[in-house]
């Protein structure tokens, strides 16, 4: 093995590359893939000592966290697996036993994550069952799961979410579930808001001041909801929260906005930002696994977990 650059195995490294390049799935789905990477590491890695395995697990956690810094849940699930493993490895020095233990820990973290999503769906169902129509944008597996829980009681307006049109995927999934669905352009979502009871979106990250980041277009939806007096809900587990105000912007290829086959327009620069931060003042409430929380309560929750966050960082980054 090359000690200068330790390989994590094709399985784990392949998943990291998949996460980096995936522009369609949201952070909830990619967090599950991050957990899969630890199982792939345990299956593929050949090591001679427990210490070598521990270093590989920590390196994988760092690489997952750095793969998409804009998605805090990747960092949180990766750190959770790594730290649980480091603590467990103090009492075992057989690398083969530890690899099995790593898979068990990854499975346990996945189950904790799954239960959080299940609790969130129940809180979301209870709240949204009182509405007859809602508006959303882009694609969120978490929002989709909650709306499926509500079922045919609610009509959903979906903005298509250029440039990759994830909203079309969302609309198709809702319609296949028997939910009355209206697809519209991003520019028309304000017009459609006049016809709904509330707006709801997912989140890729939640910051310590109660603001959150999500697909570009969310700020427009939040501002228009505020102007029209419509409630604006964010559906997210607290696995997406971090005690930071720093957020890494993502910009992607200009060709997604203006395809290469289209004749170039002289003297025009094309920008393609993917995510934006929405201030807490525009959020009515967060629907989480901990219940329906005001932004101020989200702030309190993050502050209460601050010590744990710092301990995880210290173990993974040293």
What is the pLDDT averaged over residues 39-57? Answer: 90
* pLDDT at res. 9: 53
Please report, rounded to a whole number, the percentage of residues in the chain having pLDDT higher than 70: 96
Highest mean pLDDT among 26-40, 219-233, 254-268: 219-233
Report the alpha-carbon distance of residue 186 to residue 158 in Å, rounded: 9
Instruction: Please name each of the domains of the chain with its CATH number.
Output: 10-116+308-317 (1.20.120.420), 119-306 (3.40.50.10470)
For residue 104, the 8-state DSSP code is H
**Poorest-confidence range of 136-145, 156-165, 240-249, 258-267?**
258-267
CB atoms < 10 A from the CB of 94, how many? 12
Assess whether pLDDT exceeds 70 at residue 7.
no
Percent of the chain with pLDDT over 90: 73
Which of these ranges, 25-34, 202-211, 212-221, 274-283, has the smallest mean pLDDT?
A: 25-34
The pLDDT confidence band at residue 1, using thresholds 50, 70 and 90, is very low
Task: With cut-offs at 50, 70 and 90, classify the pLDDT of residue 256.
Answer: confident
62-66, 76-80, 245-249, 263-267: lowest mean pLDDT where?
263-267
Q: Which residues are catalytic?
A: 204
- Poorest-pLDDT segment among 6-15, 122-131, 216-225: 6-15
Maximum Cα interatomic distance, the chain, rounded to a whole number of Å? 65
- Per the document, the length of the chain is 318
Residues 197 and 125: their CA atoms lie apart, in Å, by 15
**Looking at the predicted structure, is the pLDDT value of residue 267 above 80?**
no
| Structure token pair of residue 216 | 């570009």
Q: Sorting pLDDT into bands at 50, 70 and 90, what band is 230? A: very high
User: Please, what is the average pLDDT of the chain?
Assistant: 92
Inform me whether the pLDDT recorded for 2 exceeds 50.
no
pLDDT digits (tens, 9 = 90+) for 141-154: 999 999 999 999 99
Instruction: Specify the pLDDT at position 3.
Output: 34
- Average pLDDT of 177-186? 96
DSSP 185-247: -GGGHHHHHTT-SEEEE--SEE-TTS-EEEETTHHHHHHHHHHHT--EEEE--GGGB-S-S--
What is the pTM (predicted TM-score) of this model?
A: 0.89
What pLDDT, on a 0 to 100 scale, did the predictor assign at position 10? 59
């Amino acid at each position: 093995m090359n000690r200068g650059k330790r390989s994590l195995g094709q399985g784990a490294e392949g998943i990291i590359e998949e996460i980096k390049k995936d522009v369609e799935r949201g952070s909830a789905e990619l967090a599950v893939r991050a957990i899969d990477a630890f199982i792939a590491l345990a299956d593929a890695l050949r090591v001679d000592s427990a210490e070598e395995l521990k270093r590989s697990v920590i390196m994988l956690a760092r690489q997952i966290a750095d793969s998409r810094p804009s998605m805090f849940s990747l960092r949180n699930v990766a750190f959770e697996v790594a730290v649980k493993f480091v603590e467990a490895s103090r009492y075992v020095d057989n690398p083969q036993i530890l690899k099995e233990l790593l898979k068990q820990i990854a499975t346990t973290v996945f189950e904790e994550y799954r239960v959080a999503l299940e609790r969130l769906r129940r809180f979301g169902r209870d709240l949204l069952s009182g509405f007859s129509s809602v508006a959303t944008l882009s694609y969120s597996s978490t929002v989709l799961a909650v709306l499926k829980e509500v079922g045919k009681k609610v009509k959903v307006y979906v903005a298509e979410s250029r440039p990759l049109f994830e909203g079309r995927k969302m609309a198709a999934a809702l319609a296949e579930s028997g939910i009355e669905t209206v697809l519209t352009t991003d520019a028309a979502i304000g017009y459609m808001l006049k016809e709904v009871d509330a707006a709801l979106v997912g989140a890729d990250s939640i910051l310590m001041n109660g603001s959150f980041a999500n697909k570009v277009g969310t700020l427009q939806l939040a501002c228009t909801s505020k102007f029209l007096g419509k409630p604006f809900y964010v559906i997210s587990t607290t696995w997406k929260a971090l005690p930071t105000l720093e957020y890494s912007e993502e910009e992607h290829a200009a060709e997604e906005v203006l395809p290469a086959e289209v004749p170039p327009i002289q003297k025009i620069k094309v920008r393609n930002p993917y995510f934006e931060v929405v201030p807490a003042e525009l959020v009515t409430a967060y629907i989480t696994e901990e219940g329906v929380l005001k932004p101020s309560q989200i702030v309190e929750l993050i502050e209460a977990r601050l010590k744990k966050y710092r301990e995880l960082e210290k173990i993974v980054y040293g």
